[in-house]
Amino acid sequence: MARHGAPFMAAPIRFTVAAVIAAAALMVAVPVVAAKKTSYIATTGEKRVWHPMTLTLYGGPWASESAAKNPFMNYRLTTTFTTSGRKYVVPCFWAADGRAAHSGATAGSVWRCLFSPDVTGLWRWSVSFKSGTNVAVRSGGGGASVSPFDGQTGSFWVRKSNKTGRDFRGKGRLRPVAGKRHLRHDNGEWFMKHGADSPENFLGYSGFDNTPKARHHYASHRRDWRGGHPAWAKDRRGKAIIGAVNYLASAGVNSVYAMPMTVGGDAKDTWPWTTERGMWRYDVSKLSQWGLLFDHMDAHGVAVHLVLSETENEELFERADRNVKGRGFSDARRLYYRELVARFGHLQGITWNLGEENGWLDGSRQVNTDWQRKAFLAHFSALEPYGALLSLHTYPADKKRVYTPLLGKATPLTGVSLQVAGWPNVHKETLQWVHASRRAGKPWVVSVDEIGGKGALPDAQTPDHDQERRDVLWGALTAGAAGVEWYYQAGDQSLENFRGHANLWKTTDRAMRLLREQRVPYWAMDPADGLVEGKRNWALANSDVILVYLPWGGRARVRLAPSSAYKVGWFDPRLGGSTALRGARTIQSAARGLTTVGSPPWKANRDWALLIRREGSSSPPVVPVRSSPPAPPPVTGSGPFAFYVVDADTAKVVKGPLAARVTLRRSDLPTNFSIRVIRRKGMSGSGGVRFVVNGATERVEGAAPFLIAGDWKGKVFPWKKAPCGKVTLAAVATVGGARSTIEARINC
Ligand SMILES: *[C@@H]1O[C@H](CO)[C@@H](O)[C@H](O)[C@H]1NC(C)=O
Ligand SMILES: *[C@@H]1O[C@H](CO)[C@@H](O)[C@H](O)[C@H]1NC(C)=O
């Protein structure tokens, strides 16, 4: 629904003024009829890897938001994008006049698909456009062909990304990685969330069309808007919320919580429809304004954490739909998921959360069941083409009841969004879900998104945020969490000025900087409190690196590999001062038992982190290991590297080169073995090698010999993590990205 009906001809769609010129130059139009009515398909956008590209159908069926033939339900437009080895089936949407963010149009004949390619080269598209009663939510297909678009095909060429810095378009899509607990960008860079959870009604903003109950103006952030950044409609709205994003990005925040509907909930000011509960009719201009905001967030390295329902409205669709008996699955929900995925699924930094406090037996009597959660998750993940994070939030006391049935490979849930009532329980409860999900065979991305009580108060009340840092931030990090998001109870519907928590962002950013600047491979480290003496102390570790956190300082005694050299250094997690390691030195570990590393350099009874790294272990590079798009699908058995089995005790090659498909019996292998790759004769190349095991990076070796578990001064470390069963092993050149892959079956 438009607040401003007058067309605004000069305003570009989805582009800043500068970009529209580039877009126009890149526009490719495919006329699909030469008749009087001009119908054509145009592809616009930068056409670079990880950038949104737009496929627009002009001269399609005319529709209006309120037309008797509901354009949302009675058409199904889907485009399939393919390139060698990849296929994305993308739901598309009706876009009114195609410029609704600016014009406020409620009617028109423009239809649109948003897609972000993830490899360079030639991509093909193929349009499916059907009409028929409720065809949008009929997954089985059906419907009559919409002429002349249905069946049209075309292609476009995708170049490398030219973005750098925080811009997600230079890093690629954030996705969960099989077998891992953290999100990773397509370029190989791992992601630790530093998020803002409050206000939950981030989208309840007065600058969007049809948001009459908006609680937010974000007036103090208007000054953070910059020339060339988005503003929409004739009166150039949106500067304050765009400014708020700019401020958060500058403070190191990389994720923002947003609910597309707060109807019947706490804030009651946000809905995606033309009317407050009109769940069959979407507000095209409002949604395209949200789209401008989200695209801006993507370009500034701030992910959208889209939380699809609130505990008070988790049954909203089902209750309003007279075709659904209690606890069912309404078509209105299917439509809601489709409209959101169609409009925002292309973002690099989007994470989906099925619902807030879902399943809580509160007074609202709106309670989804296990069956519903499984059905909703299955439907959503089948619709969402890219495999983005799909998580779920629930009430603190309900975690066990709600999450347990969703563990394991049987459901598509890839993460949990924890609410923890007592701050001192953050570490323990994070560990609980990290371990439970791993035991069930599919580690979840576990994020601490809401803390109990009053939440994190503004700096004016708690300038140092000591308890947030100790219990929550470091409690979560050392338990293997994929990040934290800060909740502030008194501001959860009313927070207007994010600068009120400047010190909170700062103290969180310090932890993020430690991980980044000291190259802590947190994605390949596990919770390991047992390595450090003292019940209150925590550790995250792998065989080479240990990150210890001492909430109350004191002497650190740590279990290290016997008689080995380690580099140690202290990190001050509190505010102020440098982020460099203090008291850095090399120590020799004890021949047995615990090694006394020593005490913090000052303020010895305050919290300190201690980073311990085995001498000679190679640290992963700070820069993404793969700055070009993922390599094309491997040509099995060829490529730059050959694989060998090495006896770790003698450092000698005992088997190989291994065939493209090979069975290795554990009983035939040396007790301690490793895998080595050697550049094939005649293959030129330089740089290091990244070992990828079942799709996840296992290790990066900077220099030859390239060994999967590393080596030091002629000593080969055994590959202790070798899995049993079928394993895909890849070696990827860190320069150029060429790869060799073999399929091994390790019979243990
Ligand atoms: C990236 O390339 C586009 C054209 O495809 C150009 O408009 C833009 O300015 C370039 N951006 C950077 C940061 O180089
Ligand atoms: C294998 O490595 C372990 C220590 O990692 C060592 O104790 C053992 O002697 C090595 N060799 C064999 C044949 O087990």
Q: Residue 625 above 70 pLDDT?
A: no
| 391 lies in the same domain as 449 | yes
* DSSP helix/strand/coil, 489: helix
Q: Residue 682 above 90 pLDDT?
A: no
* Count of domains for the chain: 4
CA distance 548 to 537: 7
Q: Which of 162, 163, 171, 300 best tests ligand 1's pocket when mutated (most atoms within 8 Å of CB)?
A: 162
In ligand 1, the atom with minimum distance to the C-alpha of 48 is 5
327 in any annotated domain:
yes
pLDDT tens for 285-296 read 999 999 999 999
Q: Which ligand is nearest to the CA of 718?
A: 2
| 561 lies in the same domain as 686 | no
| 541 lies in the same domain as 459 | no
**Which pair of tokens denotes residue 594?**
């615990």
Please give the span between the terminal C-alpha atoms of the chain, in angstroms, as a whole number: 62
Residue bearing the CA closest to ligand 1, atom 1: 162
Residue bearing the CA closest to ligand 2, atom 9: 649
User: What is the CA(692)–ligand 2 centre distance, in A?
Assistant: 25
User: What is the CA(663)–ligand 2 centre distance, in A?
Assistant: 23
User: What is the CA(698)–ligand 2 centre distance, in A?
Assistant: 22
Q: Which ligand is nearest to the CA of 671?
A: 2
pLDDT tens for 108-153 read 999 999 999 999 999 999 999 999 999 999 977 789 999 999 999 9
CB 483 within 8 A of CB 255: yes
Q: Which of 46, 49, 164 best tests ligand 1's pocket when mutated (most atoms within 8 Å of CB)?
A: 46
Residue bearing the CA closest to ligand 2, atom 12: 671
| 25 lies in the same domain as 98 | yes
| 588 lies in the same domain as 651 | no
Q: How many CB atoms lie within 10 A of CB 65?
A: 25
User: What is the CA(501)–ligand 2 centre distance, in A?
Assistant: 52
2 in any annotated domain:
no
Q: Which ligand is nearest to the CA of 19?
A: 1
625 in any annotated domain:
no
pLDDT tens for 485-530 read 999 999 999 999 999 999 999 999 999 999 999 999 999 999 999 9
Q: Is 671 in the pocket of ligand 2 (CB under 6 A)?
A: yes
Q: Report the share of the chain in percent with pLDDT over 90.
A: 79
Q: Which ligand is nearest to the CA of 650?
A: 2
H/E run at residue 690: strand 689-693
User: What is the CA(672)–ligand 2 centre distance, in A?
Assistant: 6
User: What is the CA(2)–ligand 2 centre distance, in A?
Assistant: 72
Of 596, 614, 632, the residue at which a domain comes to its end is: 614
Q: Which of 428, 611, 618 is nearest to 511 (CA)?
A: 611
pLDDT tens for 467-490 read 999 999 999 999 999 999 999 999
Q: Is 46 in the pocket of ligand 1 (CB under 6 A)?
A: yes
| 512 lies in the same domain as 530 | no
pLDDT, mean of residues 606-625: 76
| 507 lies in the same domain as 392 | yes
Say if strands 107-108 and 40-45 run parallel, antiparallel, or are unpaired: unpaired
Residue bearing the CA closest to ligand 1, atom 5: 46
| 506 lies in the same domain as 557 | no
**Which pair of tokens denotes residue 721?**
């993590």
CA distances from 660 to 87, 663, 728, 740, 745 (A): 25, 10, 10, 9, 11
Q: Is 649 in the pocket of ligand 2 (CB under 6 A)?
A: yes
* DSSP helix/strand/coil, 642: strand
CATH number at residue 556: 2.60.40
- Mean pLDDT, the chain, integer: 91
pLDDT, mean of residues 321-348: 95
Distance, CA of 714 to chain centre: 40
Q: Which of 366, 371, 263 is nearest to 319 (CA)?
A: 366
Q: Which of 308, 306, 320 is nearest to 278 (CA)?
A: 320
Q: Is 672 in the pocket of ligand 2 (CB under 6 A)?
A: yes
CB 747 within 8 A of CB 727: no
pLDDT, mean of residues 73-93: 96
Residue bearing the CA closest to ligand 2, atom 4: 672
More confident residue, 298 or 38: 298
674 in any annotated domain:
yes
211 in any annotated domain:
yes
Phi and psi of 720, rounded to 5°?
A: -75, -25
- Residue found under tokens 């931030």: 473
In ligand 2, the atom with minimum distance to the C-alpha of 648 is 1
Distance, CA of 611 to chain centre: 27
Residue bearing the CA closest to ligand 1, atom 3: 46
Say if strands 483-486 and 193-196 run parallel, antiparallel, or are unpaired: parallel
Q: Is 22 in the pocket of ligand 1 (CB under 6 A)?
A: yes
| 658 lies in the same domain as 589 | no
Which pLDDT belongs to residue 33? 46
CA distance 646 to 669: 9
658-677: buried (b, 16+ CB within 10 Å) or exposed (e) per residue?
Answer: bebebebeeeebbebbbbbb
User: What is the CA(629)–ligand 1 centre distance, in A?
Assistant: 17
CA distance 78 to 88: 10
Tell me which residue range forms the domain holding 234. Answer: 192-517
More confident residue, 685 or 260: 260
| 444 lies in the same domain as 536 | no
CATH number at residue 45: 2.60.40.10
546 in any annotated domain:
yes
pLDDT tens for 13-60 read 332 333 333 344 445 555 554 444 689 999 999 999 999 999 999 999
| 478 lies in the same domain as 602 | no
Which pLDDT belongs to residue 37? 61
Q: Residue 565 above 70 pLDDT?
A: yes
What's the whole-model pTM score? Answer: 0.80
Of 133, 158, 183, the residue at which a domain comes to its end is: 158
443 in any annotated domain:
yes
Ramachandran bin of 583, using left for φ above 0, alpha for ψ from -120 to 50, beta for the remaining angles: left
- Residue found under tokens 């992910």: 303
Q: Is 563 in the pocket of ligand 1 (CB under 6 A)?
A: no
CATH number at residue 388: 3.20.20.80
Of 484, 517, 550, the residue at which a domain comes to its end is: 517
Q: Is 162 in the pocket of ligand 1 (CB under 6 A)?
A: yes
372 in any annotated domain:
yes
Q: Residue 2 above 70 pLDDT?
A: no
| 333 lies in the same domain as 302 | yes
Q: Is 164 in the pocket of ligand 1 (CB under 6 A)?
A: no
Q: Is 686 in the pocket of ligand 2 (CB under 6 A)?
A: no
